[in-house]
Structure 1
Amino acid sequence: MSEQRPRGPRRVVVTGVGVVAPGGIGTKQYWELLTSGTTATRTISLFDATPFRSRIAAECDFDPIAAGLSRREIRRWDRTTQFAVVAAREALADSGAVGEMDPHRTGVMIGTACGMTQSLDREYAVVSDQGATWLVDEEHGVPYLYDYFLPSSMATEIAWMAEAEGPVGVVSTGCTSGIDVVGHAVDLVRDGMADVMVAGASDAAISPITVACFDAIKATSPRNDEPESASRPFDRTRNGFVLGEGAAVFVLEEYEHARRRGAHVYAEITGHASRCNAYSMTGLRSDGREMADAIGAALGQARLNPDDIDYVNAHGSATKQNDRHETAAFKLSLGPHAYDVPVSSIKSMIGHSLGAICSLEVAACALAIEHAVIPPTANLNEPDPECDLDFVPLVARERELGAVLSVASGFGGFQSAIVLTAPGRRAA
């Protein structure tokens, strides 16, 4: 077994990106969708959503055979795991790290909010005879039912694929999971517990139980006649988020490890932080204090000033409460610079994929740095006067980006922030 390296502050860079998203499978298609301002929201086709209040979502046009999965893998894995594995394969191939990773110094961390929702929903219907039987008959369940109950099975599959024998686990903090899992993986590399981490998040929760839950609290948009424009972050006419699905996985490497093998670097992750209001499952204070605290901590770790941020990738869920809270948080944490920095929400195009969305947003940030383009906020035609910042409406904007901030807000009172900087840029 390899000896553990000395602990100490180490730099962490992104050398591989893999994406499964609405509108396209793969990083290239994903970026083309975002920069075109095209929306991938539509009427739900994965099941009959007729009885529900909100009948729209951003679905992935995912063909597992075309994506390279075997029929055995398709039979065994939930859609969430399929997304994660396909994204991880792309990230590993993109990084060029396969064959150059010490198994004992390589780990896997996967985030998810809902785990294997579709398979659990389907199997419950089977074992309960469509809900008619209170005492379920487990003999009618598939042999893989145990794995569906454990999101760790998803991380295990990716660890086997990557031959990772280092730290392996799952982070599940609701809708902030996609940032929190990347932050946790970064800490493992910084602290010397690994040299390479395969990390990201996946969720495929477009199912009757999920739609019913969000219907009950009226969090999702009922704009069923206009699915393509239903997600309207920061717009005066917004009336809830649009459910989505997908995955984004990264190869995160210690900087010197990546430099020695000549790896391409998308960005460096220089700071991250998470906070909890410890007071409400869904409530957000109007002054934005909780999110502002997370932003301030992430900037402090990155050793950056608010004026150093060139772009903010917003949570931008398109709920009245969140968008106002977030606008206030930017003003509180960034000060006067909040009025100058471009901000946008890609949920306007790919919906809200719960735990996965923040990793998809981190991917968008890395690609924005790579290509010097800021994705727009689609459907922002009538700005809310209370959301009075530069939310990059409708059209992508070319701009060199040295430092990018991405934020997330989740049920349970969670608020998270992460800072990415351009390769070669490092705070003094």
Structure 2
Amino acid sequence: MSGRNGRRVVITGIGVTAPGGVGAKNFWSLLSDGRTATRRISFFDPSPFRSQVAAEVDFDAELLGLGAQEIRRMDRAAQFAVVTAREAVADSGLEFTSLDPHRTGVTIGSAVGATMGLDQEYRTVSDSGRLDLVDHEYAVPHLYNYLVPSSFAAEVAWSVGAEGPTTVVSTGCTSGLDAVGYAAELIREGSADVMVAGATDAPISPITVACFDAIKATTPRNDDPEHASRPFDGTRNGFVLGEGSAVFVLEELDSARRRGAHVYAEIAGYATRSNAFHMTGLRPDGREMAEAIRVALDEARLAPEAIDYINAHGSGTKQNDRHETAAFKRSLGEHAYSVPVSSIKSMVGHSLGAIGSIEIAASALAMEHHVVPPTANLHTPDPECDLDYVPLTARDWRTDAVLSVGSGFGGFQSAMVLARPDRRTA
């Protein structure tokens, strides 16, 4: 993305906390191997619920460098964000102590905030629901931080010493895309020089599972958790809940080049739209997502044929996969049939607001390695989903420009184009 002043925004640091392994290296190993990290829920007894599977992160906060006070103060999702941001900062090679703190900002996306912390604290103060009048003295001292998702961005800002624009973006399941898109815009318009941007969610709690059970959005395939997430497969029957975080260091391209930074990708285009239609329903023609894709491509100044890979939302619900397939055809025309498409939710589940950033990380790493991650568990073709979904096995593929899309409850539709800077003219 470049504005009137010609500022172009690039990713120079990546951090990932995801099911199957903490750290960007472990994350990419899982994806490129086509392994799945979905399993029976272990955080609580899931037997009363319709869907009993999830993609959980094996996360040891102390081992990953958080102190006892930080662990006590922060909800699990906030812990994810801080650990992941620290990885991104280290990966970028930027000395944050030498930056102007007022020109350094943070944008964190989250769909459901401190769900696990609030759930745990309610059980504590209510004595597992037995008390109508709860005793607040049993709560953690920083319970207010769980109530306000803005604490996520504050924790990351404190961790990296950022005193510029600091924001939480919460737009449902597109939060991770929208947070990075908003951060890039702040640099583009000159409001910041460096942004630490991404998203985090840790929603695997009884209340979340019960909510998705009620609308039958999650899969009841409990007898085979490893193969339960099946985007674009003819036997798919709902998504698998996940958790995690991905955070990036974004900076202006010329600045990154001057300091010899490694550039993963340029954020070449971004757009978001709403279908103004239904809280959870999607129009089958994919018109709003197609419009977001069109605008993102226009901003990137790239033709549809320039897209080498599509990282799909690919949730594994019947309506989403049909809607998304239609959107690709509507926006890319004939090129939709020749470009590889895949969904990493088949391997790491759907971490709600965090997944958009995790998918940006997957897209940038696909460009880094010239490998398209597969759609795991795709065995049975669906006639309504008739594109190249890269089933089962990763594919060596030249990826110089990638489209990543997201779709969220409330009608949100977002699209982002990542490209190698030399693919575009200033």
Normalising by the smaller structure, the TM-score range is over 0.9
The equivalent of 2:24 in structure 1 is 27
Q: How many pairs align?
A: 423
Structure 2 unaligned residues grouped into runs of 5+: none
The equivalent of 1:227 in structure 2 is 225
Structure 1 unaligned residues grouped into runs of 5+: 1-5
Q: Give the drift of 1:206.
A: 0.3
Give identity over the alignment, percent: 70
Residues 398-417 of structure 1 aligned to structure 2 (within 5 Å): 398-417=396-415
Q: Secondary structure at the match of 1:159?
A: helix
Q: Secondary structure at the match of 1:180?
A: helix
The equivalent of 1:369 in structure 2 is 367
The equivalent of 1:102 in structure 2 is 100
The equivalent of 1:155 in structure 2 is 153
Q: Give the drift of 1:279.
A: 1.9
Q: 2:351 aligns with which of 350, 353, 359?
A: 353
The equivalent of 2:240 in structure 1 is 242
Residues 105-144 of structure 1 aligned to structure 2 (within 5 Å): 105-144=103-142
Quote the Cα distance in structure 2 between the aligned partners of 1:128 and 1:386: 49
Q: Secondary structure at the match of 1:424?
A: helix
The equivalent of 2:193 in structure 1 is 195
Q: Secondary structure at the match of 1:316?
A: coil
- Say what the alpha-carbon RMSD is for the aligned residues: 1.2
2:258 is the counterpart of 1:297: no
Quote the Cα distance in structure 2 between the aligned partners of 1:329 and 1:366: 22
Q: Give the drift of 1:223.
A: 0.5
Q: Secondary structure at the match of 1:393?
A: coil
Quote the Cα distance in structure 2 between the aligned partners of 1:240 and 1:401: 30
| Equivalent residue letter for 2:166 | V
Q: Secondary structure at the match of 1:200?
A: strand
Q: Give the drift of 1:26.
A: 0.2
Q: Give the drift of 1:139.
A: 2.7
The more displaced of 61-70 and 406-415 is 61-70
Q: Secondary structure at the match of 1:418?
A: strand
Q: 1:62 aligns with which of 59, 62, 67?
A: 59
| Equivalent residue letter for 1:277 | N
Deviations for 1:169-192, whole angstroms, at most 9, x for unmatched residues?
100000000000000000000000
Residues 144-293 of structure 1 aligned to structure 2 (within 5 Å): 144-293=142-291
Q: Give the drift of 1:353.
A: 0.2
Q: 1:317 aligns with which of 315, 318, 325?
A: 315
| Equivalent residue letter for 2:101 | P
The equivalent of 1:12 in structure 2 is 9
Deviations for 1:290-343, whole angstroms, at most 9, x for unmatched residues?
111111111111111111100000000000000000000000000000000000
Quote the Cα distance in structure 1 between the aligned partners of 2:158 and 2:58: 26
**Residues 7, 192 of structure 1: 8 Å contact kept:** no
The equivalent of 2:76 in structure 1 is 79
Quote the Cα distance in structure 2 between the aligned partners of 1:427 and 1:291: 26
Quote the Cα distance in structure 2 between the aligned partners of 1:416 and 1:42: 29
Q: Give the drift of 1:100.
A: 4.0
The equivalent of 1:3 in structure 2 is none
Quote the Cα distance in structure 2 between the aligned partners of 1:342 and 1:23: 24
Quote the Cα distance in structure 1 between the aligned partners of 2:332 and 2:156: 38
| Equivalent residue letter for 2:170 | S
Quote the Cα distance in structure 1 between the aligned partners of 2:121 and 2:102: 37
| Equivalent residue letter for 2:62 | I
Quote the Cα distance in structure 2 between the aligned partners of 1:9 and 1:190: 8
Q: 1:43 aligns with which of 29, 40, 43?
A: 40
| Equivalent residue letter for 1:87 | T
Quote the Cα distance in structure 2 between the aligned partners of 1:199 and 1:9: 21
**Residues 221, 230 of structure 1: 8 Å contact kept:** yes
Q: Secondary structure at the match of 1:249?
A: strand
The more displaced of 112-121 and 66-75 is 66-75
Q: TM-score, normalised by structure 1?
A: 0.97
Q: Secondary structure at the match of 1:240?
A: coil
**Residues 220, 242 of structure 1: 8 Å contact kept:** yes
Quote the Cα distance in structure 1 between the aligned partners of 2:197 and 2:315: 24
**Residues 302, 427 of structure 1: 8 Å contact kept:** no
Quote the Cα distance in structure 1 between the aligned partners of 2:333 and 2:128: 54
Q: TM-score, normalised by structure 2?
A: 0.98
Shift in alpha-carbon separation, 1:50–1:330, aligned structure 2, 3 A: same
Deviations for 1:102-134, whole angstroms, at most 9, x for unmatched residues?
211110000000111101001111222322334
**Residues 304, 427 of structure 1: 8 Å contact kept:** no
| Equivalent residue letter for 2:59 | F
Quote the Cα distance in structure 1 between the aligned partners of 2:239 and 2:410: 17
Q: Secondary structure at the match of 2:358?
A: helix
Q: Secondary structure at the match of 2:380?
A: coil
Deviations for 1:129-151, whole angstroms, at most 9, x for unmatched residues?
32233443323321110000111
**Residues 9, 191 of structure 1: 8 Å contact kept:** no
| Equivalent residue letter for 2:82 | V
Q: Secondary structure at the match of 2:11?
A: strand
Q: Give the drift of 1:427.
A: 4.2
| Equivalent residue letter for 2:367 | I
| Equivalent residue letter for 1:395 | T
Quote the Cα distance in structure 1 between the aligned partners of 2:425 and 2:300: 7
